[in-house]
Structure 1
Amino acid sequence: MATAVIDAPAAPPAPRMTSRQRLLLTLLLGSQFMLAVDFSILNIALPDIGNGLGFSLGNLQWISTAMMLPSAGFTLLFGRFADIAGRRKMLLVGMALLALGSLIGGLATTPEVLLAARVLQGLASALATPAALSLLTTSLPEGPLRDKALGLNGTLISAGFTVGAIFGGVLTDLLSWRWAFFINVPVAAAILLAAPRVIPESRGVRTKLDIPGAITVTGGLLALVYGVTTAGQQGWGDPTALLSLAVAAALLVAFWLVELKAEAPLAPVRVLKRQSVKWGNFAGLITFTMESSVIFLLTLYLQEVFGYSPLQTGLAFCGIGIASFIGGMVAPRAIGRFGNRNALAGGLLLQAIGTGALFLVGNGGAGSLVLMLAASSAGAFGHLNAIVGYMVTATSGLPDGEQGLATGLASMTQQVGITMGIPVLSSIATARIAATGSTLSGIHTALLVDAAIVLAGSAIAYAGLRRRH
């Protein structure tokens, strides 16, 4: 007797991006990548800039801080501006400011002009980063396509920091540090010309701007970043640093109280209390704070222990860049298979293991270099999985009208983390170096602290995200 065979229904085809979506994604990711490059491209060139413009050794850090302060302080406010006034408009204003700041920085002849240029670049980042990210999330539906796009975004952000270090070394050695500024101008101009033709303007949200909330959160974030940076330079007992941190705490508490009663809050408390937003951003803060510190500590290790030049130091980070790229490609698949919670906590766990393994790196030699490259690459792979996990988690389940807020929060987390990590871990390394007289001992101590924090962050985020998002 013949048995009828009933075919199982075919699985629905995997969604594919349209050509217009791919072009839009290219422009948005290009802007994000360029801004990420700007955060690190000058780090290796700082001594040359100091010699060329007359910065004292103690003031070199302000070349980085001048960009980080406005970038971290204004991101949440400008993300909400993008919801109200239009995201494409904010992206274009940001790109125009970036081009202007880069041109001024490349032509600078005094420290004051250079720092003003870096402030403009920081404002450009605060404008463009949340606008580009919210345009990305609202242009693609939740699911595999958006996860893939956020994976690419995370990959390019992380790769941008690494490429910035490589570009900084190459441009400084072969041409001049000024080209680290000039290289932005034609790229920003290309985005300004193409974006109006490719990116549709978002519908503005009809709401009042929460002025008290804007003042308290922006002031609080500026005071926080300034206080942490000053403490990293002058010590954690410095009166200015302590005063700044106290002001930051007071203003951020005031912001929370304002948001509880505001008619049109800048960051509605109901959104801030969502598990996905709260724990996603917590994990993002941990991964960005600690990985930026690893790059700084490895730069110190390669130049002070190995005696590498800026160019050699930049090229040594190529392995981290490759691992970051692979991690960004794998992360969306990991999220699809294991869920946001497991992918995010697992990425942090691998980042902690890779960072902790750097403690075994010795005073030099081929073996130490191989171990450093392997461990840092493993950590970078985990870091990218954590980035994509936190981006997907922190922006999921919210309506389009609140995507500017969600992406503004995620971008603010990123900027604050990048800003705080280096001062905190460098102060730990400096204190240990002063106590032992050993640069390697200071680096080892800071790396162990880094790994312990990431490990704890992995466990806390996993427990906090009780449900699978």
Structure 2
Amino acid sequence: MTSPATLSSTTGAWSPRLRALLITLCVVLFLDGLDVSMIGVALPSIGAELDLSTSTLQWVVSGYVLGYGGLLLLGGRTADLLGRRRVFLVALAVFALASLAGGLVSSGPLLILTRFVKGLAAAFTAPTGLSIITTTFAEGPARNKALSVYTVFGAGGYSSGLVFGGLMTGLGWRWNFLLPVPIALAALAAAFVLVPRSERVRDGGHDLLGAAFSTAAMLLLVYTIVSAPTAGWTSARTIGSFVASAALLGAFVAVERRVRHPLIRLGILRRGSLVRACLAIVAVAGSYFSWQFIVTLYFQDAIDWSPLQLGLALLPIGLMVAASSVFSDKLVDRFGTARIIAVSLAVMSVGYLAFLRLDTDPSYVTMVLPAMLLIGIGWIGFPAINIQATSGIDDDEQGLAAGVLQTSMQVGAAVVLAITSAVIATGADVTSSPHAALDAYRPGLEFGAAVAIVGALVAALALLPRRVELADEALDPVPEAEPEYVAGG
């Protein structure tokens, strides 16, 4: 059903209320990205004060990934079933409370628990916020512009968190947890007033068994990926966990085929545009998170950069992502999503290849900065991925499509990062010298570049008219009219 807000957004200029709504949703997504990178900078201080071992300390980050990646799919569909406004408000309130608790606790296990709860809350706010936009702004230029601004805030939050993390850690690591609290509460108050009410799916029912199987499968999969580098990829524990996750996923599919009102309409996975968007987002996020993970370790541990120095060095990428909000929607309107995604991934791949020239005394101006600028250009295609994934999807399944896309991003990036970590672990001793560290990290850099290159090649295939036609016939057996700007993508 089309909401009144959607109708008003088709008239041209946005009303002040629509602008305020978009800003509120952007702030919440900004907090999600900010939280991840800020905490990463503070880990050494947290470990020192709470006396946590390195293996325990990793769960301060991994706990968030478990909650976020494992529950994203359920979060998107819950918003469709129970109402986007209700789910968004409750999840945002939980996020604020968990942030406050994280800044006050003095126990490692309790801190990890608050991180899991925050990830759980983000798993509901992220797809719900995206579906609020796609059901409020009319499909076409208005939605393209809104999604461009929205996705830029998410990426900008992650980049800005590195700088804020360095500053807050200087005051005390607890400020990394407390800083988001007043911002989240202000966004909650604004959302209470601005987020429109949406009709619940009256005949959707509640597929509790499917929800249990899908959530358990995603949680176990993410847990296995995160813990595999420590336990060993070929250990009985890791192999058994992968088998159990596959069994749970199989049980979920079996339930969805038989239940009257499934959690996921499996037919949505036959949409070519959604599948291509999911593959692209895995390539973009997986390659970048792996690259930044290595850069953070190498620049701080091997060549003695401070956290603030590193954050400022990476800032050009965040600034480029923010600047792209001015024109990314116009690029999509003119060239279509497929072209933008393929070109941006190709440029990003060139940036990773250029970064392979890294040495033990890198020049920031002549070596590091040019590579970062090319990688930053790659993020210009991120809004196009969101537009491609949600184009032509009915309003009552926008949350589902958003959940599928963002689950692909989180779980896919976790897979790529885990493999990168395993590749690094097989290298030389990274603590013996900068040269040894670089030798150990280089295979990880090469793997991240390979992921981006494969993503660019897959995206380029969609530009071949005959291949697109055959692919869409196979993936979309029932023809659906799509806007011109996503043709071929």
TM-score by length of 2: 0.89
1:463 alignment partner, one of 457, 461, 476: 461
1:212 Cα shift? 2.7
Counterpart check, 1:432 vs 2:427? yes
Structure 2 match to 1:420: 415
> Are residues 73 and 146 of structure 1, via their aligned partners in 2, closer, same or farther at CA, if it must alter by over 3 Å?
same
TM-superposed deviation, 1:180? 0.7
2:128 paired with 1:131: yes
- Corresponding residue of 2:3: none
Pick aligned residue for 2:176 from 155, 161, 180: 180
The aligned residue for residue 4 of structure 1 is none
The answer as to whether partners of 2:166 and 2:308 remain within 8 angstroms in 1 is yes
Q: Match of 2:265, as an amino acid?
A: P
In structure 2, C-alpha distance between the alignment counterparts of 1:379 and 1:46, rounded to whole Å: 26
Closer, same or farther: CA 405–276 of 1 in aligned 2, 3 Å:
same
Pick from 425, 446, 449 the counterpart of residue 447 of structure 2.
Answer: 449
What's 2:85 paired with? 88
Q: 1:450 to 1:30 in 2, by over 3 A?
A: same
**Deviates most, 314-323 or 101-110:** 314-323
How far does residue 282 in structure 1 lie from its aligned partner after superposition? 1.5
Which residue is 2:102 aligned to?
105
Structure 2: 5+ residue stretches without partners: 1-9, 469-486
Query: CA offsets, 1:283-321, max 9 Å, x none?
Result: 112211111111111111211232111221222111121
Matched, 1:280 2:300: no
How far apart, in 1, do the equivalents of 2:441 and 2:353 lie?
12
- Measure, in 2, the Cα distance between the counterparts of 1:281 and 1:186: 34
Q: Deviation per CA, 1:337-357: give whole Å up to 9, x if none.
A: 211111111121111111121
Partner of 1:397, secondary structure, is coil
* Residues in 2 aligned to 1:464 and 1:189: alpha-carbon distance in whole angstroms: 43
Q: Check if 1:49 corresponds to 2:46.
A: yes
Q: Please say if 1:390 is aligned against 2:418.
A: no
Which one of the candidate residues 200, 204, 209 is aligned to 2:200? 204
Question: What is the CA distance between 1:25 and its match in structure 2?
Answer: 0.2
Q: What is the rounded CA distance, in whole Å, between the counterparts of 1:436 and 1:119 in structure 2?
A: 31
Q: 1:379 aligned to 2:399?
A: no
Q: Provide the residue aligned with 1:401 in structure 2.
A: 396
Summarize the Cα distance change of 1:56–1:444 in structure 2 as closer, same or farther, 3 Å threshold. Answer: same
Q: Distance in 2 between matches of 1:302 and 1:110?
A: 30
Match of 2:226 in 1: 229
In the alignment, residue 323 of structure 2 is paired with which amino acid?
A: I
In structure 2, the residue corresponding to 1:60 is in which secondary structure?
helix
Deviation at 1:333, TM superposition (A): 2.3
Of residues 274, 282, 305, the one that matches 1:308 is 305
- Residue 433 of structure 1 aligns with an amino acid whose one-letter code is A
1:33 equivalent in structure 2: 30
Alpha-carbon deviations, 1:27-61, whole Å to 9, x = none? 01111111111111111111110001111012211
Moved more, 428-437 or 35-44: 428-437
Amino acid at match of 2:426: A
Structure 2 SS opposite 1:360: coil
Q: Residues of 2 paired with 1:147 and 1:233: CA distance?
A: 42
Matches within 5 A, 1:196-275: 196-206=192-202, 207-275=204-272
AA matched with 2:385 = Y
Q: Which runs of 4+ in 1 moved over 3 A?
A: 327-330, 417-421, 434-437
Q: How does 1:133-172 map to 2 (within 5 A)?
A: 133-172=130-169
Aligned length, in residue pairs:
454
TM-score by length of 1: 0.92
CA distance in 1, matches of 2:333, 2:168: 40
Q: Distance in 2 between matches of 1:70 and 1:420?
A: 16
Amino acid paired to 2:188:
L
Q: Distance in 2 between matches of 1:392 and 1:418?
A: 20
Bigger Cα displacement from structure 2, 95-104 vs 208-217: 208-217
Following superposition, the deviation at residue 256 of structure 1 comes to 2.6
Residues of 1 paired with 2:371 and 2:300: CA distance? 18
Distance 1:273 1:196, change over 3 A: same
**Structure 1 unaligned blocks of 5 or more:** 1-12
2:368 is paired with a residue whose SS is helix
* C-alpha RMSD of the superposition: 1.9
For 1:425 and 1:122, how far apart are their aligned partners in 2?
Answer: 23
The one-letter amino acid of 1:373's match is: L
Indicate whether 1:65 and 2:57 are aligned: no
Mapped contact 1:39–1:161 kept (Cα < 8 A): yes
* Worse-superposed segment, 260-269 or 45-54: 260-269
State the alpha-carbon separation in 2 of the partners of residues 330 and 360 from structure 1.
31
- Asked if the contact 1:86/1:202 (under 8 Å) is kept, the reply is yes
Q: Give the 3 Å change call, closer, same or farther, for CA 208–455 of structure 1 in structure 2.
A: same
Identity of aligned residues (%): 34
Displacement of 1:368 in angstroms is 5.1
Partner of 2:19: 22
Q: What residue identity is the alignment partner of 1:457?
A: G
Superimposed CA distance per residue, residues 114-170 of structure 1 (whole angstroms, 9 cap, x where no aligned partner): 111111111110111111111011110111111111111221111111111111111
Contact 2:462 2:488 in 1 (8 A): no
